[in-house]
Amino acid sequence: MQTRKLILLIELIAVLDLVGQQKYPQAPEIWSKPQKIDAVYKWAGFVADLTVTADGRKIYFGGGGIVMSELSDTGWTQPKRLGNQININNFVRAPSISPSGKRIFFTWMFGSVWQLYYSDWDETKQDWGEAKYTGKEINESETEGLYSINGCCALNDTTIVFLRGSTAFIAEWVSNQNKWTNVRGFPVTGLYFDGGWGLYVSPSKNKVYNTTPQQDTNILGLPVYKEDLDVHYKNPSYPSGYSIPFILNISYQADTLYFNGEYQDRFQAYPALTADGKTLFFVANYHGHRTVYVSHMLIDENGIPVSVAHNQPLITSSFKLYPPYPNPFNSMTTIDFELDRECRVSIIIYDTLGQKVKELFSGIKRAGLHSLVFDATFLTSGVYLVALDTPLGYTVKKVTYLK
């Protein structure tokens, strides 16, 4: 018991030393440079809160009520508001859809307090059903009264992690009692996650994504606090069961892009991931107003290049990126890839920080085998990532340049 208290004290001192100072380590997983979703950017002047379906083909966000956009063969569709059974007025926010896609949670404002509701998908009507209250156990306290629920993450249809203020709790649906109950701190009572700007917990609970405040300077050299996207890895050696925050390369990359003038701001929040954990959506203010950005995982936390196949109904096409050759290489290497249908593709070279180094090709390619040459003459020696992105999915290979 004394050992556990000592570990807790050491962890607390470390956190206190890090908060407000840019000392958190970068996460080992590497993400691509984020791309804004133009359909959302042009439609909504301000986005707050975000959730994504398990397959990454629908996003729901707060923008004058809860709004949905869907990924089609031609890109993201124009956002549209959900029905009045959910959007009773503009005071609706914090959507979270379960991995099954059959249940969506959201908050309604009553007075000055946000209360948590949910709706189930009606297969007959092909629409969301009536809103249902999650109950007193989640929204109220006998001693403290009503809580304001500021967000929710549905691990499945019957387990949710939700935010009272910015403090995380977990609860389950108990069918024989017909209510949400067993409310307790997450991950453990007394060691809560803070989710002031959103919280995403993977269905397996192996990872938690949220934001961490760190101190930096603005473009004028004045001290400011900024929110960085981070990930906590499940780790039983910590009292909370999770590691300290590791900052995503996206956030440290945003610092560079902000100071060189490409980004207007560095605000980032409301992370939401696909069920496989390989596509990240979040809200940022890089280009003038808060909107939705998307990034693909290039390298996982174990250093392994990532491949993802997008599941599309009625489409059985495939794609393949072959290992570059030679590898390692000096100056030039050949990149072969194969498609079994005509489609739009891009081949992009990234460095190991996830920064885009070169775009080798972007456009339409016919079915068949294709070859491109990567000329690294003017680059520094090191490891680079070759990413093939198609409507069917994306895949990554490592290549080493030796001068």
What pLDDT, in 10s, does the model give residues 237-264? 999 999 999 999 999 889 888 888 889 9
Tokens of 312: 């599309």
- Cβ-contact 273, 262 below 8 angstroms: no
For 118-154, write each residue's pLDDT tens digit: 999 999 999 999 999 999 999 987 666 778 898 899 9
Confidence label for 313 from pLDDT (cuts 50, 70 and 90): very low
Residue 400: pLDDT band (50, 70, 90) is very high
Which one has a higher pLDDT value, 390 or 207? 207
Under 8 Å between Cβ of 304 and 288: no
Check if the beta carbon of residue 94 is closer than 8 Å to that of residue 56. no
Q: What is the residue whose two structure tokens read 């403090």?
A: 167
Position 130 scores a pLDDT of 94
Count of Cβ atoms closer than 10 Å to residue 96 Cβ: 28
Position 166 pLDDT exceeds 60: yes
Give pTM, 2 decimals. Answer: 0.87
If DSSP codes are grouped into helix, strand and coil, which group holds residue 318?
coil
Mean pLDDT of 201-206: 95
Mean pLDDT of 27-45: 91
pLDDT score of 369 more than 50: yes
Strands 319-321 and 223-233 turn out to be unpaired
Tell me what pLDDT residue 20 has.
Answer: 42
User: What's the one-letter identity of residue 40?
Assistant: V
Whole-angstrom distance, CA of residue 8 vs CA of residue 290: 37
Higher per-residue pLDDT: 392 or 27: 27
Q: How many angstroms separate the CA atoms of 73 and 8, rounded?
A: 50
Q: How far apart are the C-alpha atoms of 378 and 360, rounded to whole Å?
A: 15
Query: How many CB atoms sit inside 10 A of residue 152's CB?
Result: 27
Please state the rounded mean pLDDT for residues 364-374. Answer: 95
Q: What percent of the chain has pLDDT above 90?
A: 63
Q: DSSP label at 242? A: B
**Cis bond before residue 271 (omega within 30° of 0):** no
Report the C-alpha gap between 301 and 111 in whole angstroms. Answer: 44
Of 40-49, 113-122, 369-378, minimum mean pLDDT range: 40-49
| pLDDT on residue 207 | 96
Q: Position 335: which residue type?
A: I
Contact yes or no for 35/294 (Cβ under 8 A): yes
Give residue 143's pLDDT.
62
pLDDT tops 80 at residue 281: yes
Residue 324 banded pLDDT, cuts 50, 70, 90? very high
**Do 280 and 295 contact (CB within 8 A), yes or no?**
yes
Q: Residue 277 CA to chain centroid, in angstroms?
A: 8
* pLDDT for residue 142: 63
**DSSP SS3 for 209:** strand
| Region 289-301 average pLDDT | 94
- Please list, residue by residue across 79-88, b when 16 or more beta carbons sit within 10 angstroms of its beta carbon and e when fewer do: beebeeebbe
The whole-angstrom separation of Cα 158 and Cα 51 is: 17
Pairing of strands 140-141, 127-128: unpaired
pLDDT at residue 17, rounded to an integer: 44
Mean pLDDT score of the chain, rounded to an integer? 87
Q: Which domains does the chain have, with CATH numbers?
A: 2-302 (2.115.10), 308-401 (2.60.40.2550)
Provide the pLDDT confidence category of residue 1 given band limits of 50, 70 and 90: very low
The whole-number average pLDDT for the span 83-94 is 87
User: What's the average model confidence in pLDDT over 360-367?
Assistant: 93
